Amino acid sequence: MSKKPTIATGRKLGQKIRKKKMKASSRRWLERHINDPYVQRSKHEGYRSRAAFKLLEIDEKHKILKGAKRIIDLGAAPGGWAQIAAKVTDSSDLDPRVVAIDFLEMDQVPGVSFLQMDFLDDDAPDKLMELCGAAPNLVLSDMAAPTTGHKRTDHLRTQHLCEIAAYFAVDVLAKGGHFLSKTFQGGTENDLLQMLKKNFQSVVHVKPPASRSESVELYLLAKGFKGRKPDE
């Protein structure tokens, strides 16, 4: 569905930033960003972020988008995953089949119902399901806590978001549905893995090519939701 870009589009690679007042670390980040072929390809193909290719590459191997009729996107801004979700579900403003949430602002994505609020708010799950209208076939989470620079703290904070998203997915997914969430290298908590293995046919960690090699991010993929028992 997506292949690794081999050429840049619209901007020459290898450009240097020469703003004298910019910190060296900020200059290096900006140079890496503007010279990133995935960034350039996202602009050329109309995606809002390079993260779109992470989802496309995961789907190319694991086929989680095929047949999805309703999708919930957690931590959606700036909207790259929501764009793909709207396309694969044939969602429209008249018949929205994708619901997205983020505490950050996000420009409207056609066919996507957007909630600007913190997913950790107590009433966020109910509001998401009210907008979704029916059980989703796929719950996506690209949520990550703001980094502190302390690796252990950053890992635990993002892992907490992954865990909250996982339990939400188990509460709302349609039978046979899938769950995909960002996590960080350092090990997914065993209790969470056991919970997911109990509720899904398969559970794996994946790192798509679009995820920078130096990045500690991974994605936790749980496929084939077994369904809830009648008394759950």
99 plus 129 within the same structural domain: yes
58 plus 114 within the same structural domain: yes
Least confident of 45-54, 114-123, 199-208: 45-54
132 plus 185 within the same structural domain: yes
> How much is the CA Rg of the chain, to the nearest whole Å?
18
Is the four-CA dihedral 198, 188, 167, 63 of positive or negative sign? negative
User: 221 — phi, psi (to 5°)?
Assistant: -120, 125
Instruction: Indicate whether 230 belongs to any domain.
Output: no
| pLDDT computed for residue 210 by the predictor | 86
Instruction: Indicate whether 21 belongs to any domain.
Output: yes
- Average pLDDT, integer, range 197-202: 98
| pLDDT computed for residue 48 by the predictor | 73
Instruction: Indicate whether 89 belongs to any domain.
Output: yes
Distance CA 227, CA 230 (A): 9
Instruction: Indicate whether 232 belongs to any domain.
Output: no
Confidence grade of residue 31 (pLDDT, cut at 50, 70, 90): very low
Distance CA 67, CA 161 (A): 27
164 plus 75 within the same structural domain: yes
CATH code of the domain in which 187 resides:
3.40.50.150
65 plus 31 within the same structural domain: no
17 plus 58 within the same structural domain: no
Choose among 15, 26, 76: nearest CA to 51: 76
64 plus 4 within the same structural domain: no
The answer, yes or no, to whether residue 191 has pLDDT greater than 80, is: yes
Are the C-beta atoms of residues 135 and 125 closer than 8 Å to each other?
no
Choose among 137, 167, 5, 6: nearest CA to 72: 137
Confidence grade of residue 134 (pLDDT, cut at 50, 70, 90): very high
| pLDDT computed for residue 69 by the predictor | 97
The answer, yes or no, to whether residue 64 has pLDDT greater than 60, is: yes
Q: Sort residue 16 into left (φ over 0), alpha (ψ -120 to 50) or beta.
A: beta
> ∠ CA(182), CA(186), CA(187), 5° rounding?
75
For residues 230 and 166, the model is more confident at 166
| pLDDT computed for residue 2 by the predictor | 42
Cis, peptide link before residue 78, omega less than 30° from 0: yes
- Terminal Cα-to-Cα distance of the chain (whole angstroms): 37
26 plus 108 within the same structural domain: no
| pLDDT computed for residue 49 by the predictor | 82
The answer, yes or no, to whether residue 144 has pLDDT greater than 70, is: yes
Instruction: Indicate whether 133 belongs to any domain.
Output: yes
Residues identified as active-site: 182
Domain boundary among 10, 30, 46: 46
Instruction: Indicate whether 112 belongs to any domain.
Output: yes
40 plus 56 within the same structural domain: no
- Average pLDDT, integer, range 69-80: 97
Instruction: Indicate whether 29 belongs to any domain.
Output: yes
115: enclosing H helix or E strand: strand 112-116
Which residues span the domain enclosing 79?
49-225
Number of independent structural domains in the chain: 2
23 plus 126 within the same structural domain: no
Are the C-beta atoms of residues 96 and 82 closer than 8 Å to each other?
no
Q: Between the CA of residue 137 and those of 7, 9, 95, 103, 220, what are the distances in Å?
A: 35, 34, 16, 23, 16
The answer, yes or no, to whether residue 79 has pLDDT greater than 70, is: yes
